[in-house]
Amino acid sequence: MLTTEALIAERRKHDTTTSNQEEFMIRPKSIRLSRSNEEDLETRVANRKQELISEIIEFKKSSRVDAVESIERLKARLSDLAHLMKEGVVDGWANVDERSRVKLDAWIAR
């Protein structure tokens, strides 16, 4: 997901006649999430969390030698999520700040 500055830089690459007025029109006045973006982030986090829990369950069922290490690694990821949620999702998903969104997106991507 590109930031506003990245979008402007990308547009400049393709259009060398971009004026300051156009930049002003592109840049949002506030970076407030719409309800669909909030739900999207919440859904993506919940889906990824469920995938990790499912992986833990599968590793517990298996007799693979590296299962214990994999389970510990997955538990650490879930612990990271718990810390991110505690820091960034204090008053619900509607109030997640940009910094926390970026951290949660990075967590999902790992």
Q: Quick one: tokens of 65?
A: 């030698």
Per-residue pLDDT of the chain (110 residues; tens, 9 = 90+): 445 555 455 555 544 444 444 433 343 333 444 455 667 999 999 999 999 999 999 999 988 888 999 999 999 999 999 999 999 988 888 889 999 999 999 999 98
Q: How many CB atoms lie within 10 A of CB 45?
A: 20
Cβ pair 52, 77 in contact under 8 A? yes
What is the C-alpha to C-alpha distance for residues 60 and 54, in angstroms, rounded to an integer? 10
> Where are the domains positioned within the chain?
1-30, 34-109
What is the C-alpha to C-alpha distance for residues 9 and 7, in angstroms, rounded to an integer? 5
Would residue 92 be called left, alpha or beta, if left means φ above 0 and alpha means ψ between -120 and 50 degrees? Answer: left
